[in-house]
Each structure stands twice: as C-alpha cells, then as structure tokens.
Amino acid sequence: MKFIIGMLVVTGSVVGGYVLSHGHLAVLFQPFEFLIIFGAATGAFIASNPGVVIKQVLGSIPLLLKGSKYNKQSYLDLLALMYELFSKARKEGLMALENDIEEPKESAIFSRYPKIQADHHAVDFICDYLRLMVGGSMNSMELENLMDLELETHHEESHLPSHAVTTMSDGLPAFGIVAAVLGVVITMGSLSEPPEVLGMHIGAALVGTFLGILLAYGYVGPIGTFLGHIKREESKFLECIKICIMATLNGYTPQVAVEFGRKALYSNVRPGFLELEEYVKSAGKS
C-alpha cells in the first residue's frame, strides 16, 4: 500500500503541477513515444538477463503491494521457536531434535509458529544447520564459515531482481533521448508544414525525453530500490537465525542465545528484553 501511495504522489505532483501551470494533458499523451522508450527498455532487460532473473522479477511484483512480511511479530515467533528448540536440545540432548528437523511440517514445535513454518527458506536454514550440529562432524568455526558462505550466496542471488530493475531504470533516460531524436528527425522532414504542426512535432519529441526521465526516477527506479529493501530484510531474518545457532553452539543457554539474536535486529522490529522473555514463556505454555 505504501508503494502505491508513493506512486500516486509522484503522478499527482507531476500532472498536477503541469495542469496548474496551464499545461494541456493531451500534449503529454504520446503513445508512440512511450512505445519506443518502454518497449526498447523492456527488450534490453530481456536481452541482458537470464530467464531465472526475469522470472524472479515477475514473481516479485506482488511484493510491491504486500511489502515485507518481516515485522516484530515475525521475530518474536522466530526467537521463541529457536528458544524452544534449544531448550529441548539442552534438556534431552541434540538427538532429541532429529524428528523436528527431519519433518518440520509434522513437528509440534514448528507447528506452534505457522508463519515461520510456511517460510521454507527459514525452515531449511534452521534444519540444515541443526542437522549438522546433531551430526557433530563440524566445529563452530567451520559451521560459521559455512553459514557465512550460504548467507553471502543468498544475498547475491536475492538481490539479482532489484539490480536488474535498477539497471533497466538507468537506461530509460537514454531511451528517452532516442525517442526525442527520432521526433526531431520527423520534425526535420516536416519543415514545410505550418508552425502549429512543427510545434506539435517538437512537443512530441520533448515528451520523449520527459517520459524517459520520469519513468526512470519516478517509477522503475523506486521499484528496484523497494525490492532491494525487502530482500535486505529477508537476509537479516536468516542472519538472526545464524547468530542464535552460533550462540547456542558456543555453550550459551537458550535464553542468552535468543538474546544474541535479538540484539542483531533492526530497531524498528526489535522486541524489548522483557517483551521477548514474556512472549517466550507464554508461547512455551501454549
């Protein structure tokens, strides 16, 4: 919703300012200029990106309306889940987690947190590294290096759609110039026409430059930036899991381990110490 509001503000400001300056909206309606600019930019986007990135960009479009799913409640659920898993391992041994990590969909612990359970990236990350801990074949340094490698790979892969859209945005002003140059070519072929006809052709050419810049900085550029922010929050979610696991692997109690994870969160989604403590206790009783 916030993204839609932003787009409406951009459109309203540009169109409203133009109309209030006694401009005529009909002059801005240049569908052929739009076809040249956006069509060429789309073609360049398709040519410069592999199919998997194009699919990721198209699949990310709903995120523009939904926004990020990671809020304070998501982190409360995550930290409570980690606390329960660590507490069970501490009381019954790491082998007691085997059924939970092999079948998380059937796990009583995971089932208490349906939103986390539905996030397959987070569940896979948790289960994979708890499985390695249960196997006991890696020390803490090796496990942390492996986590860092996976997080770096995930970060690079998840940001490919935003980089692709941003690159497309960077090219739109240039395609606006292409449309404007083509408009000038048409104008040069109409020099024998009366001034009002020449003015119409020149105006259409200038609209091409206008559209290229507006699409780049008012619409497509913000889409790329917005997608980047969403993927950054997803990476932070996985990083919180890593910090909790590393803390418990280094011998800290479950309560201290989730406190490590809490401290790593952004301030706008970080629960308070007492808030987390009360939530963990209430979640464990439910």
Q: What is the pLDDT of residues 210-231, one digit of tens each?
A: 999 999 999 999 999 999 999 8
Rounded Cα distance between 57 and 52, Å, is 9
Of the pLDDT bands very low, low, confident and very high (cuts 50, 70, 90), residue 285 is low
Rounded Cα distance between 4 and 203, Å, is 30
Domain positions in the chain: 28-286
Contact 11, 227 (CB under 8 A): no
Please give the average per-residue pLDDT across 109-129, as a whole number. Answer: 92
Residue 1 has pLDDT above 80, yes or no: no
Q: Which tops the pLDDT comparison, 194 or 17?
A: 17
Rounded Cα distance between 110 and 120, Å, is 12
Of the ranges 140-149, 181-190, 194-203, 252-261, the best mean pLDDT one: 252-261
Of the pLDDT bands very low, low, confident and very high (cuts 50, 70, 90), residue 176 is very high
Rounded Cα distance between 60 and 65, Å, is 10
Contact 76, 271 (CB under 8 A): yes
Could you tell me which of 103, 147, 156 has the C-alpha nearest to residue 238? Answer: 147
Rounded Cα distance between 110 and 117, Å, is 6
- Which of 38-47, 141-150, 163-172, 197-206 shows the lowest per-residue confidence on average (mean pLDDT)? 197-206
Q: What is the pLDDT of residues 32-45, one digit of tens each?
A: 889 999 999 999 99
Could you tell me which of 138, 120, 118 has the C-alpha nearest to residue 129? Answer: 138
What CA–CA distances, in Å, run from 286 to 212, 268, 282? 56, 27, 6
3-state secondary structure 9-25: HHHHHHHHHHHHCCCCH
Of the pLDDT bands very low, low, confident and very high (cuts 50, 70, 90), residue 286 is low
Q: What is the pLDDT of residues 66-77, one digit of tens each?
A: 878 899 999 999
Could you tell me which of 42, 72, 52, 123 has the C-alpha nearest to residue 233? Answer: 72
